[in-house]
Amino acid sequence: MKLFSKWFGRKHLRPELTPDLAAEIRRSFEASSGDEEHFPSTIDPRIAHVGFVLETIGELGRGRALDAGCGKGRFARIVRERNPEATVVAMDLAVSMLRHADAGLGRVAGSLLALPFADDSFDGVYATESLEHAVDIELAVAELCRVLKPGGRIAIIDKNAERWGHLETPVWEKWFHREELLKLLRRHCVEASCRPISYWEDVEPDGLFLAWQGRK
């Protein structure tokens, strides 16, 4: 991605989330809203990541689900289609991304580090390749679990730290070891698990992506 070119090639460090870095991350995603190739507004429902989210949060009925770091709302669109009576909130840091999300979604601008919702607000919460940009991962996981109702379920899909270097990344991006997120989830959830996940349903996982789920 040309947008991140000035960050590529740098040593993988764990940066501190300074105001300057937070502003840079926000600007980068605002600018990326016009990049449909790397930040698409749709996703094929046959993709295994979609199936994992739907399976984990379950049938919502008239409940509420949060897509935390939704981008253009491509996952939220499918969750809403499968749960037409539910309220699905699509939240992202970048307002320009949210403009692409369907009008039938609850579109909210906000940060993973300070979710603009009350405690116990959602029956299901999911974050697909968004936690990696939060920098303060411990706080972000705590926030995701804070807004989840007791008994509610959380799904996280992100990249495997054991495959670090497989893709070019901005300096702030973080990939995760299996136990790293399990430990954080278990602080807030009565159960948590992790498994490798492929992109396509009919392809064996290659180790790039991991999928975590928990129940509060």
- b vs e for 89-99, b when ≥16 Cβ sit within 10 Å of the residue's Cβ? bbbbbbeebbe
- Alpha-carbon distance of 192 to 39, in angstroms, equals 29
**Among this protein's residues, is 16 annotated catalytic?**
no
Side-chain-side CA neighbours of residue 147 (13 Å): 25
Q: Which of 16, 129, 162, 180 is catalytic?
A: 129
Sign of the dihedral through C-alpha 105, 107, 112, 117: negative
Measured N-to-C along each axis, helices 74-82 and 48-57 cross at an angle, to the nearest 10 degrees, of 50
Cα 22 to Cα 28, 79, 174, 202, 214, distances in angstroms: 10, 29, 15, 38, 28
- Quick one: tokens of 200? 């396509």
Tell me, what amino acid is at 94? Answer: A
Which residues have a catalytic role annotated?
129
